[in-house]
Structure 1
């Protein structure tokens, strides 16, 4: 008897037609692009204008650290979003959760675009800004797990990495869109940008959310969850089951993402943008040029993210990650020496080199995570591991980097910090077995629950 895991069922595995396959891939790409556009617009604005507009009384240096800290605060609430999304996603399905995360993110981002500044309402301005950033964090915590499961659980087992890279591609696409639009609104000059130009990208989010919502509504529920629902086997307390049996696995999976995420937030979190454009800093490069360089690096990140997803179907998730970690260490070593030349072309080269390792350790993540956890708690497992990894990794990476530069007067300290996090990710990867191609359906729970950690029969 055929099972949903048999890639021979249809030409596209779990998906009935080519049209349905394109619809799933397109919906996951568009949905995550919109979500991460919203997230990165905030990070860019935090690097460029929020210190002056919302934290001016703290002074320039402290104000910039506080501005970066608001980026990190949202990460502290990602686990809340992951717990909620994991609970409802494992009980009621992936699709409904994705609809609500999209709406929540869009509403929070649009409201930032109409938020009064400190000069208008005083201390309430940064408080409201932080509250809206928290809502973004809750949304982001629930978004990723649902998107990757919709992609991977629809995929034939020989193409999970490729399908799983579709929501991953949405992240560099979101950064590409965010930094590109921010660069456009910066072109008219400082006065326009600081007065209301910075608001335009936030308000544009409203239109993007409508598009993303329409597209996601047209996608069917994940076939794995559909089978779980038909069997009435949804777990009553998936989060509790996850931590009773798979705590060590969650920690290792979180460390893997932390290594990638900490480095990624040098660009997506706006640190390089703020560092290179600071008028009182060592470089003081034009804002629009740096934003365009960041936009260009989003293109190379996209390419290597897709490449990472494709390659991991050929050589395995674990091997792809190991190659990616090595490439990332090389990229870290080259980044700041190139950036500190003050040449915009070399700054772009440094960012582009960094994206090689970033892509190779991000493209395979959806497939890797999906194959780590049993079907009944998979949404909870991937979402919570991702959210915890984001806290360990990117949450305060720009804040830490800014503090290190101010304390030491050199970017070498930042390189040491980033390299340390990457090495921890490499160690976590080496501790895992490669489970490429393991059956994902609920009828293979026992096989899925067997420990993926090397040297252990149980987690």
Structure 2
């Protein structure tokens, strides 16, 4: 049990760092980066700002998925997770130490873009192995719960990032925040890196990967094999993420703009509603992951994405009413439905691939869907709502949820005997994993 607990904590700490870094960057982009790195009088830096905000962090994720996903199936989950944790953490800390435009000119935004790219590569490589770290140490028949450790990262990271900036804004003057205070939010990520490394370095690789090594079953060309052997599984993985990704963008990013612009809410009011829902998700994500171990995993997720696709047509009118109570209800229910779809998702995606190809297949499915869903959603929601009204934006979200339902329908149910047969190849004793073996 000790190894399972450490694996769960190692997975949770890494994905929390990942989303903390992305949320801190997004908040800083709104509060301080335009003045410090992208002065409006310089067209070049304005272009770099747009490139950074809307593309770099997402376009680089598939690079991480291809590179580190493959390495997870050839070198092991643990090595990948140590590397990605260092990459994400070092890039974030360096952003906090980066001289501004006023000090080094256009070099500052260029380096910022490169560091953001490095963050994205680390994020793309982190998720697949993080899910496997907790899932493959845990009981194969309870993978929904154990794999949910990585899924707790987004709400935990968002809460932590917004909390840090809220404390800084409350304790510092505007001049202090702009001068040096913002840097603290980035440098603080070193604490999560140190904690994550302490746990990850103390762990062996997962029982499943060590069994693959024992039997000589690791893949030499996992990307090619995934595309050849598991095209249906890859399609299921990609589609299953679209609805939750688009919904999450709506509920945590676009809602801030829509509610303040159309209903006159203060930004703090909208943010408080998002934070309430995010706090609930900390407990609901693993709870729904555990529920999917008792019920059919695809059925739980399908009910959630269908519910999200219907709820979005309630959400927009509720927000437009101008009632704070309805705003909170709309956002919180939306995030509860997201948790119901997101909690079982990690287990579902990894179960679409044979154990020897899980890291590669999961990473590819996660990162490709992130580009299609997460990167484009805020832009499409803004454009559709502005040109055609809220119903068009809601229809886009509903379509993404329908596609997720299709992906869940074409996916396969997991056979835990795959893991149990592999685990039986490991010797018992000090080097074995008999007490914690799935």
2:140 aligned with 1:157, yes or no? yes
Residue 59 of structure 2 corresponds to 76
- 2:194 aligned partner: 210
CA distance in 2, matches of 1:51, 1:274: 18
Render the CA deviation track for 1:302-341: whole Å, top value 9, x for unaligned.
Answer: 2331222011011111101111112212332233333334
Q: State yes or no: 1:295 paired with 2:275.
A: yes
Aligned-partner Cα distance in 1 for 2:326–2:169: 22
Whether the 8 Å contact between 1:47 and 1:271 is mirrored in structure 2 is: no
Q: Which moved more, 1:63-72 or 1:150-159?
A: 63-72
CA-based RMSD? 2.8
User: Is the contact made by 1:47 and 1:68 (CA closer than 8 Å) also made in structure 2?
Assistant: no
- Please tell me whether the aligned partners of residues 140 and 420 of structure 2 are also in contact (alpha carbons under 8 angstroms): no
Q: TM-score, structure 1 length as denominator?
A: 0.83
* Cα contact 1:47–1:273 (8 A) shared by 2: no
Alignment equivalent of 1:45, drawn from 23, 28, 40:
28
In the aligned structure 2, how far is the partner of 1:378 from the partner of 1:430? Answer: 20
Q: Which residue of 2 aligns with 1:25?
A: 8
**1:306 pairs with 2:263:** no
2:350 equivalent to 1:370: yes
The equivalent residue for 1:326 is 306
Structure 2 residue 299 is matched with structure 1 residue 316: no
1:429 maps onto 2:408 in alignment: yes
1:43 Cα offset (Å): 2.5
> What's the CA shift string for 1:110-147, capped at 9, x where partnerless?
12223344455444343322221111110011111111
Deviation at 1:57, TM superposition (A): 2.2
Quote the Cα distance in structure 1 between the aligned partners of 2:35 and 2:215. 56
CA drift of 1:197 comes to 3.5
Q: Tell me what 1:199 maps to.
A: 183
1:356 aligned onto 2:356: no
Q: CA deviation at 1:242?
A: 1.2
Determine if the alignment matches structure 1 residue 89 to structure 2 residue 67: no
Q: Is structure 2 residue 154 aligned with structure 1 residue 171?
A: yes
* Count of residues in Structure 1 that have an aligned counterpart in Structure 2: 421
Retained in 2: the 8 A contact 1:47–1:67? Answer: no
1:196 and 1:407 map into 2 onto residues whose CA distance is: 40
Distance change >3 Å, CA 313–CA 68, structure 1 → 2: farther
- Range that drifts further, 99-108 or 204-213: 204-213
Instruction: Tell me the alpha carbon deviations over residues 238-274 of structure 1, each in whole angstroms, 9 at most, x when there is no partner.
Output: 1111112223321221111122112112345x33335
Query: CA–CA distance in 1 between the matches of 2:365 and 2:194?
Result: 29
- What residue in structure 1 maps to residue 213 of structure 2? 229
Structure 2 CA distance, aligned partners of 1:284 and 1:65? 31
Scaled by the length of structure 2, what TM-score is found? 0.87
**Could you tell me how far apart the structure 2 residues matched to 1:364 and 1:68 are?**
33
Paired residue for 2:370?
A: 390
Quick one: structure 1 residues 382 and 321, their matched pair in 2 at CA, closer, same or farther if it must change by over 3 Å? same
- The CA distance in 1 between the partners of 2:144 and 2:240, in whole Å, is 16
Q: Distance in 1 between matches of 2:363 and 2:407?
A: 18
Q: Distance in 2 between matches of 1:35 and 1:235?
A: 28
2:317 counterpart residue number: 337
User: Which of 419, 431, 434 is 1:440 aligned to?
Assistant: 419
Q: Work out the CA distance in 1 between the residues paired with 2:315 and 2:175.
A: 31
Worse overlay, 192-201 or 151-160: 192-201
Aligned to 1:15: none
Residues 41, 412 of structure 1: alpha-carbon distance in 2 compared, 3 angstrom cutoff: farther
Partner Cα distance (2:125, 2:62) in 1: 8
Unpaired segments of 5 or more residues in structure 1?
A: 1-17, 445-459
- Measure, in 1, the Cα distance between the counterparts of 2:175 and 2:47: 19
Aligned equivalents of 1:189 and 1:86: distance in 2? Answer: 44
Shift of 1:216: 1.6
Per-residue deviation at 1:104?
A: 0.6
